[in-house]
Amino acid sequence: MTSTIAHALVHIDGSFCEGGGQLLRNAVALSALLSKPISIPNVRSNRKPPGLRKQHEAGINLAAAICAAETEGVHFGSTSITFKPGKIELPKILTADPGTAGSTTLLLQVSLPCLLFSSSPTAPSLLTLRGGTNATQAPQIDYTQHVFLPFMKRHFGVDVALKIQRRGYFPKGGGAVFCTVPPVTEALPPVTLMERGPVQVIRGEARVGGLPYILAERMKNAARARLLAGGIPPTAIRVDAVRETQEQAFGSGGGILLYAETSNGCIIGGSSVSTKGKAPEEVGEEAADELLRNLLHDGCVDEHLQDQIIIFMALAKGCSAVKTGPLTDHTRTAIKIAEQMTGATFHLEENLSGSVIISCDGIGYTPSM
């Protein structure tokens, strides 16, 4: 299917389901790709306070820069936006900076689909993302690096190079991430992922910046103890503790990512971020508990990857099917937006065991000349 210019505004209710920033990111990315102008009232109406934060403003402006869009209402606190895309011409060299600890990974979420497709071979796009790298309410940059991007490369052939130039912790931000995005000229292939296979190893890093090394060690030890209690053999656990230098991190903070690798090449993650007043042991245990919970349902992707791959399943050519755990509101939102914007059809098979099979008849998107 080739994209065509559509002039009628597509109206999307910003309060649907999770009613947060993910709805905005997916809608804007698909608007840019498909040349479909959108209007979104009730922006983040399920959040307190509602409306755009600096991070959402930066993300929408980044997508607008990629596709030469005209926008209305894209300012702090706005509860209604209009996004009218122009033509995407690659490659791009862009920088996005919300000026806060807003998440770099969420900036990548809105921009990556826009930079992925080219009607002819071209140089990679270069993207510098500033802000927070390890923050709450968003995937940590380590998750993007070790779970999301490997999935994209293995199953969709999308090979994004990501370099963490400097970490930025909440509340100061100040981090910088550099991404190289080579475009594809053909439709993405469908993905079929139904059998996870046994866990072979659990890797991970507990890290701190601007704080004593012992705090990372305590996070690591608590996570390891919880994994052992959950039935993971000690020989399968390979978790390190890391303290960053002043050059490697801005501000002080920490976090932990654990990820299980299975015999069938699945990667299942669990993570947690240090916050003021939370003991390092609690942070480590939270990450381990999240990982164990995601392993319990025998799904091939975890609860966070589940919603991030929906947009790519919709754009892929042919029928995709992925087994996962219980659906999250983020995933239900992503499916709704993908169906409304692309015309792809999703089917859900929810099993008594708690697992869900998400299948999708994708549109086989390729860009117009």
To the question of whether residue 155 is assigned a binding role by annotation, the answer is no
Q: Per the annotation, does 305 bind a ligand?
A: yes
**Of 56, 146, 155, 330, which one is the catalytic site residue?**
330
| Burial category of 7 from C-beta neighbours within 10 Å (exposed 0-12, middle 13-18, buried 19 and up) | exposed
Smallest CA-to-CA distance from 175 within 125, 215, 135 is with: 135
Cα(62)–Cα(72) distance, integer angstroms: 14
User: What is the C-alpha separation between 260 and 266, in angstroms, rounded?
Assistant: 8
297 known ligand binder = no
Tell me if 119 sits within 8 A of 369, measured CB to CB.
yes
Close Cβ partners of 235 (under 8 Å, ≥ 6 residues apart): none
CA–chain centroid gap for 215, Å, is: 27
Amino acid residing at 227: L
Q: Is residue 340 a known part of a binding site?
A: no
As to burial, measured by CB atoms within 10 angstroms (0-12 exposed, 13-18 middle, 19+ buried), residue 187 is middle
Q: Residue 302 annotated as binding?
A: no
307 known ligand binder: yes
Residue 330 known to be catalytic: yes
Annotated binding site: 109, 304-308
Active site positions, annotated:
330
Annotated binding site for ATP: 109, 304-308
